[in-house]
A and B are shown apart, each in its own frame.
Chain A
Amino acid sequence: EIVLTQSPGTLSLSPGERATLSCRASQSVSSSYLAWYQQKPGQAPRLLIYGASSRATGIPDRFSGSGSGTDFTLTISRLEPEDFAVYYCQQYGSSPGLTFGGGTKVEIK
């Protein structure tokens, strides 16, 4: 089973700043089957990035994903007020099993 470790646990930034979130896998993620979700209180997770670097429909281009193998990054180029939330990485693949990271909270400094 692949274990996903996200860092940092909390990121304190101001609107307009750049956010860099990390997701490290315990073993290589095949075919870059790595996704990123945003979750706000009381809401279901919202898909941002899939395939490590492809933006989901309707996601602003300030969100970008990169990485391969065991190291992946979500970057928010300039934080908007609505971007303060919790972000999860997720591994998926040919079987329906899913693995999630522990999450990174992006909070207003």
Chain B
Amino acid sequence: QLQLQESGPGLVKPSETLSLTCTVSGGSISSSSYYWGWIRQPPGKGLEWIGSIYYSGSTYYNPSLKSRVTISVDTSKNQFSLKLSSVTAADTAVYYCARQPLYSSSLPMEWGQGTLVTVSS
């Protein structure tokens, strides 16, 4: 059974870079059948897609965040990562990682439990 687990600092200072990792177990991140995505949710607000990556390294970003986002994949560790630069309080959110099968037209079928990242000095 596939499991996704987000990890990283829960507190980041303004103007710094937020870094999170999603560890995949029960499946291979090197499969050609999936995208791997990041989605966030500010406290009490709605969901926002941040971006996704294919095992080959091809990336797709939300245009509203593109200038600050980098998503990468480490197939040797079965992990993919998110970096968001120049953060502000508006980036405080629960960050989820998800698997997006190509056969479901990239609909997220499995989600991690989410991790709260607070941006504060």
Point out the residues of chain B lying under 8 angstroms from A35, CB to CB.
107
Point out the residues of chain B lying under 8 angstroms from A95, CB to CB.
60, 106
A7 to chain B, nearest CB (A): 14
B106 touches A96 (CB 8 A): yes
CA gap between A33 and B106 in the complex, in Å: 10
CA gap between A4 and B95 in the complex, in Å: 21
Interface residues of B in 60-119 (CB under 8 A from A): 60, 62-63, 96, 100, 104-109, 111-114
A98 touches B49 (CB 8 A): yes
B105 touches A98 (CB 8 A): no
Interface size on B, residues (CB 8 A): 24
Tally A-B pairs: CB < 8 A: 58
Interface residues of A in 51-66 (CB under 8 A from B): none
- 0/1 per residue, A19-39, Cβ < 8 Å to B? 000000000000101010000
Which single member of A90, A94, A97 contacts B62 (CB below 8 Å)? Answer: A97
Interface residues of A in 82-104 (CB under 8 A from B): 88, 90, 92-103
Q: Is the interface of A mostly helix, strand, loop or mixed?
A: loop
CA gap between A1 and B49 in the complex, in Å: 13
A98 touches B39 (CB 8 A): yes
Tell me if A16 counts as interface (CB < 8 A to partner B).
no
Q: Are A97 and B49 CB-contacts (below 8 A) given A44-B96, A44-B114, A50-B104? A: yes
Identify the B interface with A (CB < 8 A): 35, 37, 39, 46-49, 52, 54, 60, 62-63, 96, 100, 104-109, 111-114
For the complex of A and B, 5 pairs with smallest distance between CB atoms? A96-B52, A98-B49, A96-B35, A44-B111, A100-B47
